[in-house]
Amino acid sequence: MAAAAQRQTGWWLLILPAFLLMTAFYVAPILQVLAISFTEPQPGLQNYERLFTSESVQRVIGTTLRICLITTALALLLGYALAYRIALAEERVRRWWILAVLVPLWISVLVRAFAWVTLLRRQGLVNQALLETGVIAEPLQLVWNEFGIVVGMVHYMVPYAVLPMLASMREIDPRLLAAARGLGASRFTVFARVFLPLSAPGLIAAGVLVFIFSLGFYITPAILGGGKTLMVAEWIGLQILDLIRWGLGTMMATVLVVAILTTLAIFSRAVDLRRLFGSGA
Amino acid sequence: MEGAHRPGGAAKGLAWLVALYLVLPIGIILPVSLTDQRFLSLPQEGLSLRHYATVLTSTEWLGSIAQSFWIAVGSTILAVVAGTLCAIGCWRISRRATDLVRALMLLPIIIPSIVYAIGLYRYFAGLGLLDRFLGVVIAHGVTGIPYVIITVSTALAAFDPRLEQAARGMGASLWQTLRWVILPRIAPGIASGAIFAFIHSWDELVIVLFIASRDVFTLPRRIWDGINENLDPAMAAVAVLLIVFTVLLLLLDMALRRRRDAP
Amino acid sequence: MSATGHALALHGLTKRYGSFTAVDDVSLRIERGQFLTLLGPSGSGKTTILMCIAGFVAPTAGAVLLDGRDITALPPEKRDFGMVFQGYALFPHMTVAENVAFPLRVRRMGAAERQEKVRAALDLVQLDRFADRLPRQLSGGQQQRVALARALVFDPALLLLDEPLSALDKKLRAELQEELKALHRRVGRTFVNVTHDQEEALSLSDRVAILNHGKLVQEGAPAALYEKPRTRFVADFLGKSNFLHGTVREAHPGGFAVMAGGTRVIQAIAPDAPRPAAGTPALLSLRPEKIALLGEAETAENAVDGRILSWSYLGAGFAINVATQDLGALRVTLPSWGAPFAPAEGMPVRLGWSATASVPVAEDAD
């Protein structure tokens, strides 16, 4: 047994650098700052009492949950349509469709938020086009509100929804679908009775992924919300940078982390993060 | 395949709409960046490269680009070395023993950057790493490790473990096995990981907002300020340059994957 | 390193995975220059034993000795054993020559000497023309030879083979069996082979060790194992066998009689072998090729009447299933050339065999 243990030591040493880096420069800072929620301004749970007493804290959480659920639902719907098309496409065409998912996925979130501002603001291209064609008389308020946030967030999340769903759809044996058609099922029946149930694991995984990514999302809501609609991440930043209320900010950060880890734990079987990046291209 | 199940008209139409929704807003930036006007708009009378000229002659923009580039290079090296070794170690040691390690390494993808950013803000203040090149490299390197671990683990999954046994059985030390057998086989996976770690650092904003202020002013930070202060067409030019850069890196990654998958 | 190979011994080798015992107290000696095959069905522990010898698996108890030296704790890279892996495990990114040079490279041998040895090793397996190919450009048989050359190039103390021929089709397998045997004679090294293919074990080996459920069941020269199986499992696993159940009637020096229903069967045994007591149950193993079809006037020490249940033509011979009243269905093989009749279902026949044709065997303890 000593021999086996000795043989493994070398391999454990390979893990060591990443482990030390991750512990010293990732886990330690996070644990340290989350601990502040129990110690500042004075030791105790008074920061967490705000969850039940402060209307503004509750409003932020409510807004965040509402936007996240809407975003998740829309991203799943749109993502499913796209994944369905890609999964059933011929090899040659499929590559282009996948590119349409991967390119937005990897393009800077800032650039994408900027694109939406260009399109949706009061003097933006959409309002201009609608005004010029006479559809509307007054510019529409398309951004710096919840609508703008949802448009931008769904845009960001659709690729994350597509990849796990696509991975699970690609595992469906196409002969099964052909066989169902051959047995006399209509296109819709094949979809509803065969394809949809078989792709359900991917759908759940995508839902969990999009939901937890949305919960802590900072940049897009900050830009497209224009400071008027606050979500949790921006609210935390505000507490720390502008109001210097570390206790409150870290309390909300703790709540956020706990919410995400709980969601993941519940659905841990459905979500395999490694798949997301492994099988896309 | 003849007689295969294909999506119906409605499904196809919806898929097209989604694809347009994903791609068009990004594509619209190109004509905006070529506008001849002084404000964000489509070109009115002709195309102009003046906004590109503004960006490419501005010492501020060029300085930020250079800074972002070197930070991305540094953090990519950090992430690739640590991530590759860790992925190999986890792969070789039994799965269950390393499950915890794997979960730990994936944390940066799961936990929102805002939480890490406020943590580092406090932590780096104590270490004197705020607003320092090294601080940002460490932060981006550590958060880039998951991307490397994921791609390298995928490459390792296709690697026949008997090759490693064969090498050891013929007398190769761990180091020789790594250098001559394992690393050459998973090189494309490492390259993919490096590309993703690079893009991650190159685009990262939230952490930088908290741990850097004046001396370190990366490209995303400058774009952020631009969006919040003066929405001018120069921003569109920067955006186009960024898009082109990202697409090039992605194409490189696809080419690498194709070479790996080739028989 | 001497050219005559080394002797290997296993002492009470045991490997447990949790509550499952993969290898159960196996002791074995392999003499210098011998070709030993570990034979058993899948899950019998044969591969685990090989992995313990190679050093990839650490035994739970027991020891591995090389020329009397305990090497149980030595890591695989320090053992200096050549190994041919199942599926060969050739490095796909290296050419044939680079693959073969690998063991020399890790030993930091100079380039000139290295080239010399690689050429000699490739000559040995007749692959000198393929030095610059990649493994995937070779056929299965050629890949197998590269794996052999790579395992032998550094003059290993021992050559371990893990199902070396299992990936090949039947015809090629027979061809490479011959080659492997010739190679063993040429290099004079100690070979340890693992297989589940009994024909391969019989044709290749100087000695065969038969394993079942992690235990060493019987060990010996191929012919001795085939002719004198000690247990039902060995008789059944090595070739085909009929089993006759009965009760010992009486014993004389040199043999005993068994009653199976109303049929009396005479079994010869060596004069010094222990004789079973009358009244105890007996189990006899009778090979199908040792049963003859008796003509009208012919007699034999043992004879039984039956009817042909089914038959098949195998080219070189017939395989015939004969139903008998007391001994159940008996399988008989006959050469087709010069067969006294054409078999037909339902045809009455008389079977005969000598008292030395069958062997008493023990039931396996489970």
Q: Please write the tens of the pLDDT for every residue from A188-215.
A: 888 888 888 888 888 998 999 999 999 9
Chain C residue with CA closest to B163: the answer is C89
Residue % of chain A over a pLDDT of 70 = 93
Least Cα separation, residue B129 to chain A (angstroms): 12
* pLDDT above 70: percentage of residues in chain C: 98
**Residue A31 within any structural domain of the chain:** no
Residue B48, C-beta contacts closer than 8 angstroms, at least 6 positions apart: B34, B35, B36
For residue B65, the distance in angstroms to the closest alpha carbon of chain A comes to 14
Instruction: Dump pLDDT digits (tens) for A96-111.
Output: 888 889 889 889 899 9
State the total domains in chain A. Answer: 1
Mean pLDDT of chain B: 89
Measured between beta carbons, the chain B residues lying within 8 angstroms of A215 are 112
Segment A194-200 long-range contacts (CB within 8 Å, at least 24 positions apart): A195/A84, A195/A169, A195/B5, A198/A168, A198/A169, A198/A172, A199/A80, A199/A83, A199/A165, A199/A168, A199/A169, A199/A172
Which residues does residue C216 pair with via DSSP β-bridges, in sequence order? C211
Average pLDDT, integer, range C251-264 = 85
Residue bearing the bigger pLDDT, A163 or A9: A163
pLDDT at C276: 85
Please tell me which residue of chain C has the smallest CA distance to B172.
Answer: C106
Q: Tell whether the model's pLDDT for residue A1 goes beyond 60.
A: no
On the question of pLDDT at A92 being above 90, the answer is no
Q: Which residues pair with A199 in a beta bridge?
A: none
Please answer whether residues B166 and C92 qualify as being in contact, where contact means their C-beta atoms are separated by less than 8 angstroms.
no
DSSP string, C84-118: EBTTB---TTS-HHHHHHHHHHHTT--HHHHHHHH
Contacts B167 to C, Cβ<8 Å: 91, 102, 106
pLDDT (average), residues C224-249: 91
pLDDT for C364 equals 77
Please answer yes or no on whether C76 and B181 come within 8 Å at the CB atom: no
Q: Do B8 and A111 touch (CB under 8 A)?
A: no
Average predicted confidence (pLDDT) for chain C: 88
pLDDT of residue A278: 42
Whether the pLDDT of residue A276 is over 60: the answer is no
Contacts of A69 (CB under 8 A, 6+ apart): A211
Residue B144 banded pLDDT, cuts 50, 70, 90: very high
Residue A201 included in any domain: yes
Beta bridge partners of C334: C318
Would you call B145 and A18 a contact, using CB atoms and an 8 Å cutoff? Answer: yes
State whether C55 and B169 contact (CB < 8 Å). yes
- The answer to whether the CB atoms of B120 and A29 lie below 8 A apart is yes
Residues of A at the C interface, defined by Cβ within 8 angstroms: 1-4, 6-7
According to the model, what pLDDT value does residue A270 have?
Answer: 64
**Buried/exposed B50-87: b ≥16 CB within 10 Å, e otherwise:** ebbeebeeeeebeebbebbbebbebbbbbbbbbbbbbb
CATH number of the structural domain spanning residue A71: 1.10.3720.10
A18, exposed or middle or buried, with CB in 10 Å at 0-12, 13-18, 19+?
Answer: buried
Assess if residue A133 is contained within a domain: yes
> What's the pLDDT band for B228 if we cut at 50, 70, 90?
confident
Q: Which domains, ranges and CATH numbers included, belong to chain B?
A: 64-261 (1.10.3720.10)
- pLDDT surpassing 90 at residue A69: yes
Q: Across the interface, which of B89, B114, B154 has its CB nearest the CB of A216?
A: B114
| Residue C258 bridge partners (DSSP) | C248, C265
Q: Do A3 and C60 touch (CB under 8 A)?
A: no
| Contacts with B168 from chain C: Cβ below 8 Å | 56, 75-77
Half-sphere exposure for C239 (CA within 13 Å, toward CB) = 22
Task: Answer yes or no: are the C-beta atoms of A272 and A205 closer than 8 Å.
Answer: yes
**Contacts with C72 from chain A: Cβ below 8 Å:** 3
Domains and their CATH numbers in chain C: 8-228 (3.40.50.300), 240-360 (2.40.50.140)
Chain C residue with the nearest C-alpha to that of B160: C89
Residue-wise pLDDT for C171-205, tens only, equals 888 888 888 888 888 888 899 999 998 888 998 89
pLDDT of residue A277: 46
Task: Report, as an integer, the average pLDDT of C73-93.
Answer: 88
Decide if B115 and A102 are in contact by the 8 Å CB cutoff: no
CB contact, 8 Å: C89 with chain B?
A: yes
Q: What is the mean pLDDT of residues B91-104?
A: 82
pLDDT tens-digit map of B151-169: 999 889 888 888 998 998 8
Largest Cα–Cα distance of chain A, in whole Å?
83
pLDDT-derived band of residue C59, with 50, 70 and 90 as boundaries? Answer: very high
Give per-residue pLDDT as tens, B27-73.
Answer: 988 988 888 888 888 888 888 888 898 888 989 999 999 999 999 99
Q: Residue A275 pLDDT more than 80?
A: no
Of the ranges B134-138, C55-59, C202-206, the best mean pLDDT one: B134-138
User: pLDDT tens for residues A19-37?
Assistant: 999 999 999 999 999 999 9
C228-234 mean pLDDT = 92
Question: Is the Cβ of C102 closer than 8 Å to some Cβ of chain B?
Answer: yes
Q: Chain B: nearest CA to A222, how far in angstroms?
A: 10
Residue A5 has pLDDT above 60, yes or no: no
Residues listed for chain B: 263
Structure-block tokens of residue B131 = 């607003």
Give the model's pLDDT for residue C294: 87
CB C69 within 8 A of CB B160: no
Cβ separation of C73 and A7 shorter than 8 Å?
no
Whether the CB of A115 is below 8 Å from some CB of chain B: the reply is: yes
Domain of residue A145: give its range: 60-278
Condensed to tens digits (0 to 9), the pLDDT of residues A117-142 reads 988 988 888 888 888 888 888 888 88
In angstroms, the separation between the Cα of residue B194 and the nearest Cα of chain A is: 13
Contact A6 C75 (CB under 8 A): yes
Please state the three-class secondary structure of chain B as a single string.
CCCCCCCCHHHHHHHHHHHHHHHHHHHCHHHHHCCCCCCCCCCCCCCCCHHHHHHHHCHHHHHHHHHHHHHHHHHHHHHHHHHHHHHHHHHHCCHHHHHHHHHHHHHHHHCCHHHHHHHHHHHHHHHCCCCCHHHHHHHHHHHHHHHHHHHHHHHHHCCCHHHHHHHHHCCCCHHHHHHHHHHHHHHHHHHHHHHHHHHHHHHCCHHHHHHCCCCCCCHHHHHHHHHHCCCCHHHHHHHHHHHHHHHHHHHHHHHHHHHHHCC
Q: Pairing mode, if any, of strands C207-212 and C35-39?
A: parallel
Chains that touch B (3 or more CB pairs under 8 A): A, C
Query: Measured between CA atoms, how close is B171 to chain C, in angstroms?
Result: 4
A239 within some domain: yes
User: Hey, are the CB atoms on B166 and C85 less than 8 Å from each other?
Assistant: yes
Q: Is the pLDDT of residue C338 over 80?
A: no
Mean local confidence (pLDDT), A145-173: 91
Q: How many CB atoms lie within 10 A of CB C249?
A: 15
Q: Each residue of C190-225: b (16+ CB within 10 Å) or e? A: bbbbbbbbbebbbebbebbbbbbbbbbbbbbebeeb
Neighbours of A265 (CB within 10 A): 8
Q: What pLDDT is attached to residue A215?
A: 94
Q: Flag whether residue A10 sits within 8 Å of chain B, measured between CB atoms.
A: yes
Q: Is A250 on the interface with B (CB under 8 A)?
A: yes
User: What ipTM score was computed for the predicted complex, to two decimals?
Assistant: 0.89
Angle formed at CA C52 by CA C51 and CA C54, multiple of 5 degrees: 60
- Mean pLDDT (chain A) is 87
Residue-level pLDDT at C5 = 66
Residue closest to B89 by CA, chosen among A2, A15, C291, C283:
A15
The two three-digit tokens of residue C203, written as one number: 């044709």
Return the number of CB contacts < 8 Å for A and C: 13
Torsion angle of C-alpha atoms C18, C23, C26, C31, degrees rounded to 10: -130
Contacts with A12 from chain B: Cβ below 8 Å: 89, 93
**Chain A residues with CB-CB distance to B200 below 8 A:** none
pLDDT at A53 over 60: yes
The verdict on whether omega for the bond into residue A41 sits within 30 degrees of 0, i.e. cis, is: yes
Evaluate whether residue A162 is within a structural domain. yes
Facing residue for B165 by CB, picked from C78, C85, C92: C85
What's the pLDDT score for residue C365? 67
Specify which residues C310 forms β-bridges with: C321
Q: Which residue of C has its CA nearest to A10?
A: C75
Whether C102 and B169 lie within 8 Å, measured CB to CB: no
- Average pLDDT of A39-67? 90
**Is a pLDDT exceeding 60 seen at residue B1?**
no
Q: What is the pLDDT of residue B262?
A: 56
Confidence of residue B121 (pLDDT cuts 50, 70, 90): very high
Local confidence band at A77 (pLDDT 50, 70, 90 cut-offs): very high
Contact list in B for residue A181 (CB cut-off 8 A) is: 3, 5
For B158, name the nearest residue in chain A, comparing CA atoms only: A278
Specify the pLDDT at position C2: 43
User: Could B122 and A33 be called an inter-chain contact, meaning their C-beta atoms sit closer than 8 Å?
Assistant: yes
Question: Looking at per-residue confidence, does B197 or A95 come out higher?
Answer: B197
Could you tell me if A219 lies within 8 Å of chain B, comparing CB atoms? yes
Q: B126: which residues sit within 8 A by CB, 6+ positions away?
A: none
User: Is A1 in Cβ contact with C75 (below 8 Å)?
Assistant: no
